[in-house]
Chains A and B, each alone.
Chain A
Amino acid sequence: MSLLDLLRSLVFDHTIRTVALGTATLGVVSGALGAFAVLRRQSLLGDALSHAALPGVALAFMLTGLKTPIVLMLGAAFVGILAILLLEAVTRLTRLKEDSVLGIILSVFFGVGLLLLTFLQRNPDARQAGLNTFLFGQAATLLTRDVVTMAIFGGLALLVMAIFWKEFKLLSFDREFGGSLGFPMRALDIMLTSLLVVAVVIGLQAVGVVLMSAMVVAPAAAARQWTNRLGVMVALSALFGALAGVSGALISSLGSGLSTGPVIVLCISAIVLISVLLAPNRGLVWDKLRQRRNRRRLRGESVLLDFYRMSGQHSDALAPHPVAALLAINPQAEAVLERLAERGQVRRAAAGQWALTESGLAAARVLEEERLQKETD
């Protein structure tokens, strides 16, 4: 199938279009809200919240007997907020580190959820399958109705984020300052985390409990590499999330055994990898290049300076000089001299004999001046 066919199916194939719309919605919402979580060093909160959703889903089903996503989502969100409050209380009142508390909440809530699920299994009309897809993710089961629900919930969450933008920004970067200005920082904290609960809950059906954490962390971690501005980061993060969602949905439609959730996660992981390597300024590749350029420049300068000092012992500073002495100081001096020659700072006078040029002499004098300046400082 060519790329064109694939894109055509995005428009004309109803199932693929629905799935791609759903995963794109999820990507936008979790990407935007994940940016705050990552900046606030709460990357693993998404993981804990998605696991904590299990008992919520089970309870909602037990109480209502309905399997409609909106009911299950509400149950999951309710228990998710309960998990946040518990997390906040235990972290504040004990000496346990936050990651331990996250681990406890994640695993114990999940365990309780499993326990509740077994009660459901005994109920013959429960048909657990519906719940399982909700938890382990099966984007292929998304219906137009589900996508609309996701879009409404996600849109509301993004709207709240936009309304409280300034407050959330303050919360993320200087909580103490915000508190001193009289903002209710703890309430804002719980509110922002509750929005993350919404993002997690609408993602469960598409990517499942385990992989949801990647949808929170990865787009934001990738976006962070490209910018230092919060607004740009949130927008980029949402874009990366959507991109991964759509491409994941398309790729998984290509073959059997390519479940949407894992494919989306691999797509977003690839975006992270590219960002970490290639993003301007922060990217590792540019960093390495910069380091190499600096090393090269320093080596050139030091050879030029050595050469200048040696030639200073002659009456004529531009007279050719045997290179052997330089080689004793720096075995690679010859190669460095070649590079200096390309820049016109030295010239080869004869075999094994090099000489400074006028511009090289001038450059060396400036360098010497700088060195002396540094030593006297």
Chain B
Amino acid sequence: MSIAQIEIQLIAVVVAAACALPGVFLVLRGMAMMSDAISHTVLLGIVLSYFVVRTLDSPLLIFGAAAIGLLTVSLTELLNRTKLVKQDAAIGLVFPALFSIAVILISRFARGVHLDNDAVLLGELAFAPFDRISVLGLDLPHSLVVMAIILLINIAFIALFYKELKLATFDAGLAAALGFSPALIHYGLMALVSITAVGAFDAVGSILVVALMVTPAAAAYLLTDRLERMLGLSVLIGAGGAVGGYWLARANDANIAGSMATVIGLLFLLAFLFAPERGVVAIARRRGRQRWEFAQTMLAIHLLQHEGTPEAAVENRVDHLQEHLRWEPAFAQGVLRRAEAQEWVERDNGALSLTPQGRQAAQKALTR
């Protein structure tokens, strides 16, 4: 691997990690689409700050973009509070309007600046190593430095306000009652999302910022119930997607950001299908098991009801199950096999009887 390749992968991993952290809280708080809105409107912040400083390299751009990000959030809330439009519609109204203003401003007044539609929407990681900056005597890619700083800010914010974030996310009412301001935490988080979006969109484009923020966190949410683990997993999945995406892009000579999103999407698909408890396969297997267990309990109860009664000789027979419980022959045999294996039921020439263990199980099921 050449130095440039290592640098690109490093940038990709740092961007993915920086996005994954605030993404966890967006997913948990049901605000994932806010990242979509913010990642588009930061463009307006960049354009407006560009008109002030007349350069695209100033750190001021990040502040301007973050400010417009927060404006997006508060405009959405303002509109939502009028009760005239619902939350989701409010998001869908605000961000296209701000984005349109940005696009028109660029094409009217900032032509020739490297700020066109495609660059904003798509980003290009492959060129990142060419833009370099010297920090502490080290010659580093500009975006690596910027994203590392943003990653540190995200880590610091989450570490510092971990308890508050956790409380405000899972029990906003309690947080407010205890005197934490949910609004303050909310806006703090949105500021993080904004600066992360503006830092990242240079590298991966605004739409894939959403992929990096939401998808790893959503996959992690399917894998664990603990917030700390979800944060860790989400960073891991993001980083894995970044490196995997880089190699996929390299193998096909394709767009790196698109490949990263594709790989992260595949990782999500894996989690969706195979997550230990919440995956589709696990759910299907659990449902299947529950079906057998339920049938087995039904069988035990049926046998218990007729045990020792005159009809027992008729009712408690294998061939009668079909008629009485309306089971298909194959299904009835399967249930019996399972019940026998667990020593609930004994079979004697077609007549069925409960073992003490089976009787106990049936009684327990009835009293539950």
Chain B residues in 8 Å Cβ range of A66: none
Contact across chains for B103 and A262 when beta carbons are under 8 A apart: yes
Binds B, one of A97-105, A142-150, A235-243: A97-105
Chain A residues in 8 Å Cβ range of B310: none
Q: Mark A207-246, 1 if CB is under 8 A from B, else 0.
A: 0001101101110110011000000000000000000000
- The interface residues of chain A, by DSSP majority, are classed as helix
Contact across chains for B255 and A213 when beta carbons are under 8 A apart: no
Q: Mark B253-274, 1 if CB is under 8 A from A, else 0.
A: 1110111111011001000100
B122: CB under 8 A from chain A? yes
Chain A residues in 8 Å Cβ range of B213: 103
Interface residue count for A (Cβ, 8 Å)?
60
Contact across chains for B93 and A103 when beta carbons are under 8 A apart: no
Contact across chains for B215 and A265 when beta carbons are under 8 A apart: no
A43: CB under 8 A from chain B? yes
Cross-interface CB contact of B93 among A99, A113, A218, A258, cutoff 8 Å = A218
Q: Mark A105-132, 1 if CB is under 8 A from B, else 0.
A: 0111011111101110010000000001
Contact across chains for B85 and A263 when beta carbons are under 8 A apart: no
Contact across chains for A266 and B101 when beta carbons are under 8 A apart: yes
Chain A residues in 8 Å Cβ range of B32: 97, 99-100, 102-103
Shortest distance between the CB of A270 and any CB in chain B (Å): 9
Cross-interface CB contact of A99 among B31, B85, B207, cutoff 8 Å = B31
A96-B218, A103-B36 known; A136 vs B121 contact (CB < 8 Å) = yes
A41-B88, A263-B104 known; A108 vs B33 contact (CB < 8 Å) = no
Contact across chains for A46 and B92 when beta carbons are under 8 A apart: yes
A315: CB under 8 A from chain B? no
Assembled-state Cα–Cα distance A46/B27 (Å): 20
Chain B residues in 8 Å Cβ range of A195: none
A97-B30, A257-B104 known; A108 vs B264 contact (CB < 8 Å) = yes
Chain B residues in 8 Å Cβ range of A47: 33, 36, 92
Shortest distance between the CB of B242 and any CB in chain A (Å): 12
Interface residue count for B (Cβ, 8 Å)?
63
B111: CB under 8 A from chain A? yes
| CB within 8 Å of A: which B214-271 residues | 214-215, 217-218, 221-222, 248-249, 252-255, 257-262, 264-265, 268
Contact across chains for A259 and B258 when beta carbons are under 8 A apart: no
A94: CB under 8 A from chain B? yes
Cross-interface CB contact of B96 among A41, A210, A255, cutoff 8 Å = A210
A107-B207, A132-B118 known; A118 vs B258 contact (CB < 8 Å) = yes
Shortest distance between the CB of B161 and any CB in chain A (Å): 22
Contact across chains for A114 and B108 when beta carbons are under 8 A apart: no
Shortest distance between the CB of B41 and any CB in chain A (Å): 11
B100: CB under 8 A from chain A? yes
Assembled-state Cα–Cα distance A71/B259 (Å): 25
B367: CB under 8 A from chain A? no
Q: Mark B30-43, 1 if CB is under 8 A from A, else 0.
A: 11110110001000
Chain B residues in 8 Å Cβ range of A265: 96-97, 99-100
A328: CB under 8 A from chain B? no
A311: CB under 8 A from chain B? no
Assembled-state Cα–Cα distance A201/B43 (Å): 25
B362: CB under 8 A from chain A? no
Contact across chains for A257 and B258 when beta carbons are under 8 A apart: no
A42-B88, A112-B265 known; A94 vs B278 contact (CB < 8 Å) = yes
Contact across chains for B210 and A103 when beta carbons are under 8 A apart: yes
Assembled-state Cα–Cα distance A46/B33 (Å): 12
Contact across chains for B88 and A210 when beta carbons are under 8 A apart: no
Shortest distance between the CB of B153 and any CB in chain A (Å): 22
Q: Mark A84-103, 1 if CB is under 8 A from B, else 0.
A: 00000010011111011111
Contact across chains for B255 and A110 when beta carbons are under 8 A apart: no
Q: Mark B167-186, 1 if CB is under 8 A from A, else 0.
A: 00000000000000000000
A269: CB under 8 A from chain B? yes
Contact across chains for A107 and B261 when beta carbons are under 8 A apart: yes
Cross-interface CB contact of A118 among B31, B100, B253, B264, cutoff 8 Å = B253
Shortest distance between the CB of B213 and any CB in chain A (Å): 8
**Sample (16) of A-B pairs whose CB atoms are under 8 Å apart:** A96-B221, A100-B218, A103-B210, A104-B218, A104-B265, A106-B210, A107-B215, A108-B265, A111-B260, A111-B262, A114-B254, A115-B254, A218-B93, A224-B85, A225-B84, A265-B99
B contact set with A: CB distance below 8 Å: 26-27, 30-33, 35-36, 40, 79, 82, 84-86, 88-89, 91-93, 96-97, 99-101, 103-104, 107-108, 111, 117-118, 121-122, 207-208, 210-211, 213-215, 217-218, 221-222, 248-249, 252-255, 257-262, 264-265, 268, 272, 278, 280, 283
